[in-house]
Amino acid sequence: MSDLVKVELRDGILDIVLNRPDKKNALTADMYRALVAAFHLGNAEAAARVILIRGQESAFTAGNDLGDFLNNPPQDMDAPVMQLLRLLPGIAKPLVAAVGGPAVGIGTTLLLHCDYVVAADNARFQLPFVNLGLCAEGASSFLLPLLVGQRRAAELLLLGEPFGAAQALDMGLANKVGAPNELVAAAEEVAAKLAAKPAAAVRATKQLMKGHWADAVRNAVDAEARQFMERLSSPEAKEAFQAFLEKRQPDFSRCG
């Protein structure tokens, strides 16, 4: 797929590895394209019974590469990041994630579409969209209240503060927490168990669990995407990104 997104199929597991550790796996448009291709492969390839996505024990993903993001902002639903967000709800195979280090922005919202999440105790999650003058994405405005309740979802999305693996486990965002050096092995063990199950029965059960609100999830993805793209040109977002580049605190007092 890409040197920065490695894909390997073995023993029924499609292993997708974010491979830009020097940048904490910050995602570029090319990496989003590679992820879209990888997930399409996982859905279509009969030999792939489970999809495992991971980074390294030190970093899952720091979210968008802001330099690349500002140079190539998503302008319509064909943008690579939007293609990925629209694809995630339709993944038919069980999706397992191994999360160590930072899981920022889409690094957290992606997990809402996973069926099993293993986190290292060094994992740090964050949904900083409002702090960047943006809004929720990936159907997180719908799925997060379902998972953690309205009050806690409001705290996570509106304050945008980081939280750790113990909190993620407590609220149901993670299934299991362990040591960083055991992260990949623990996720591979879960993926291998799922790959050994009757594949059609697993897919049917996943569809039944998620089918009740499938239309609402797709609608949330699209509504958030439209609002997100509008907010990119807002005075708040411009101030947030300029402050980031200038390494200062943003001042939203004069923004509408």
Residue 256 has pLDDT above 70, yes or no: no
Does 185 map to a domain? no
Residue 116 has pLDDT above 90, yes or no: yes
Q: Structural domain of residue 56, as residue ranges?
A: 1-180+199-256
Does 97 map to a domain? yes
Which pLDDT belongs to residue 1?
56
- Segment 112-123 mean pLDDT: 98
Does 187 map to a domain? no
Which pLDDT belongs to residue 16?
98
Which pLDDT belongs to residue 69?
86
Residue 241 has pLDDT above 80, yes or no: yes
- Segment 213-230 mean pLDDT: 97
Q: Phi and psi of 81, rounded to 5°?
A: -65, -40
Percent of the chain scoring above 70 in pLDDT: 99
Does 191 map to a domain? no
User: CATH number of the domain that 156 lies in?
Assistant: 3.90.226.10
- Segment 98-103 mean pLDDT: 98
Does 186 map to a domain? no
Residue 78 has pLDDT above 60, yes or no: yes
Which pLDDT belongs to residue 185?
98
Q: How confident is the model at residue 254 (pLDDT cuts 50, 70, 90)?
A: confident
Does 188 map to a domain? no
Q: Say how many domains are in the chain.
A: 1
